[in-house]
A and B are shown apart, each in its own frame.
Chain A
């Protein structure tokens, strides 16, 4: 039961990315990631204005079961965070690709997105 929207890009570390019309990139964790973690109880988000390198830690998700780091899949500056997740982390369980987004970044180089996994690649990565 894999839920991997075709229009998104993915990182092997289970983040998804969506290129917005204003050139920013929205990042969240995949349906598969939230399923692995189980019920989320805490989400720690990066600070707006922070500049992150590719694969740098951007936050933490904690579930009843485990803690896991969330990474910036591409380099960029954080321009927005989803503050709602801090009080209601379960949104990332129920709506991982919509209401459960984590942060939005202004990519250092938008072409970096091309190097990320397609939906098909990510599905293959999961052994589907």
Chain B
């Protein structure tokens, strides 16, 4: 099967990227060193091509009611154009189909879902909207760039002086349309920054301007270590259709009020919540040598858990992991590290925010 290419494929190759397959897309894993890219985002600014993600515009008279039915979070919270909401989309069994961001737009809503779940998400959205006044428009004509890091907004504003005041005025989790462009103060790294959707044809020039403006190109490798330090879930790893959002650290994204909003999966996770959730999501910290990896068993006095994402933390210089463990788990556990039960600390997520350690 031929791999799909984003509008920035040639830009990546020209920048020296090592390209790999990701969910059927040819994507940059790094441009030389994943660790240096990670550090660039924590200390300065980096740009990620996330054009493989799926952008959908939603219009129609029933759009709001439908989104209130299919999302665990409540789009009624979106008070003005450009405001963003993070939500899970659940099965009837109360497990996670995908996690996504939905914005209130001038014409309705704009939704961004994961690339790896594209086909099943579109099938689910089509199925659940059937018979309603809801139109779905997949925006494959758009590219999407994330520019992240303490200097990200300054560097974008230097390139886009005409929009600088408006961009600086954005609060976290807010966006604004600029003609065909949409600029939002969101991200997946634990740093300040922007996510920008723009016409695919504009993307290579803008990407080149960013690099010229001192923004480092960042591959998917560093994207993963950055989001893990930030304690953010990755679909297919930290949660999927076998896991309840309440066991995957997504409890805060479920809007329980109003009680009469009957979103898909509600009855199941509400019963789970009332009965007491058996497993919880935590962070694990290993300060000695070794790297915690996805799938490793976590032993606790209350039963076993599992590492759902693990890596070496470039910021903390030791290994960290996101794990699902029995709810009673206290401040310590052991991980089966290549055959050796190794003590680890159990901490509250995230690990890193704005370049600094935040746990403990």
- The answer to whether A and B belong to the same complex is yes
A64 in contact (CB, < 8 A): yes
Closest B residue to A35 using CB positions: B18
From A39, A44, A63, residue with most partner B Cβ within 10 Å: A39
How far apart are the CA atoms of A66 and B35 in the complex, in Å? 14
Whether A41 pairs with B312 at a CB distance below 8 angstroms is yes
A63 to B311, CA, bound (A): 9
Asked if B324 is at the interface of the complex by the 8 Å CB criterion, the answer is no
- Tell me, rounded to whole Å, the shortest Cβ–Cβ distance linking B89 to chain A: 30
The CA of A50 and the CA of B291, in the complex, are separated in Å by 25
Which chain A positions have C-beta within 8 A of B289? Answer: 42, 44
**Bound CA–CA A60/B311 (angstroms):** 16
Q: How many residues of B contact A (CB 8 A)?
A: 15
CB within 8 Å of B: which A50-106 residues:
60, 62-67, 90, 93
Mask, B210-239, CB within 8 Å of A = 1, is 000000000001000100000000000000
Asked if A65 and B338 make an inter-chain contact with CB atoms under 8 angstroms apart, the answer reads no
Cβ B312 vs Cβ A62 within 8 A: yes
Nearest CB of A to B30, in Å: 7
Q: Which of B34, B291, B293, B338 interacts with A38 by CB under 8 Å?
A: B34
Task: Check if B61 is an interface residue, CB within 8 A of chain A.
Answer: no
B295 interface hit (Cβ, 8 Å) = no
Q: Which chain A positions have C-beta within 8 A of B338?
A: 60, 67
- Total interface residues on A, CB under 8 Å, equals 14
- What residues on B are CB-neighbors of A63 within 8 Å? 312
Task: List residues of chain B with CB within 8 A of the CB of A38.
Answer: 29-30, 34, 221
Minimal Cβ-Cβ distance residue in A for B222: A64
The reply to whether the CB of B267 lies closer than 8 angstroms to some CB of chain A is no
A64 and B225 contacting across the interface, CB-CB below 8 Å: yes
Encode contact with A along B301-318: 1 for CB under 8 Å, 0 otherwise: 000000000011010000
The answer to whether the Cβ of B331 comes within 8 Å of any Cβ in the partner chain is no
CB distance from A88 to the nearest CB of B (A): 12
State which residues 90-125 of A face B: CB under 8 Å: 90, 93
Q: Are B291 and A42 in contact (CB under 8 A)?
A: yes
Q: Which residues of chain A in 5-51 are interfacial with respect to chain B, using CB atoms and an 8 Å cutoff?
A: 38-39, 41-42, 44
Return chain A residues, CB-CB under 8 Å to B311: 64
User: In chain A, what residue has the closest Cβ to B289?
Assistant: A42
Our pick among B30, B34, B291 for the contact of A62 (Cβ within 8 Å) is B291
Taking the closest CB of chain A, its distance from the CB of B338, in whole angstroms, is 7
Q: Which residue in chain B gives the minimum CB-CB distance to A60?
A: B338
Across the interface, name the chain A residue whose C-beta is closest to B314: A64
Q: Is B33 an interface residue (CB 8 A)?
A: yes
Min CB distance A92 to B, Å, is: 13
Q: Mark B267-310, 1 if CB is under 8 A from A, else 0.
A: 00000000000000000000001110100000000000000000
User: In the complex, are the beta carbons of B293 and A64 less than 8 A apart?
Assistant: no
Inter-chain contact A42/B290, CB cutoff 8 Å: yes
| CB of B332, distance to nearest CB on chain A (Å) | 22
Shortest CB-to-CB span from B317 to chain A, Å, is 9
With contacts A38-B221, A41-B312 known, is A67 near B293, CB below 8 A?
yes
Provide the bound-state CA to CA distance between A21 and B187, in Å: 56
Evaluate contact between B290 and A64: CB separation under 8 angstroms.
Answer: no
- What distance in Å separates the Cβ of B351 from its nearest Cβ neighbour in chain A? 15
CB distance from A87 to the nearest CB of B (A): 11
Measured between beta carbons, the chain A residues less than 8 angstroms from B33 are: 39, 93
A35 CA / B289 CA spacing, docked (Å): 22
Using CB atoms, name the residue of chain A closest to B36: A39
Closest to B312 in A: A41
| B221 and A65 contact, CB distance less than 8 A | yes
Using a CB–CB cutoff of 8 Å, the interface residues on chain A facing chain B are 38-39, 41-42, 44, 60, 62-67, 90, 93
Give 10 CB contacts A-B under 8 Å: A38-B221, A39-B33, A39-B35, A60-B338, A64-B225, A64-B291, A64-B314, A66-B293, A67-B293, A93-B33
| 8 interchain residue pairs of minimum CB distance | A41-B312, A39-B35, A62-B291, A39-B34, A64-B312, A42-B289, A64-B34, A39-B33
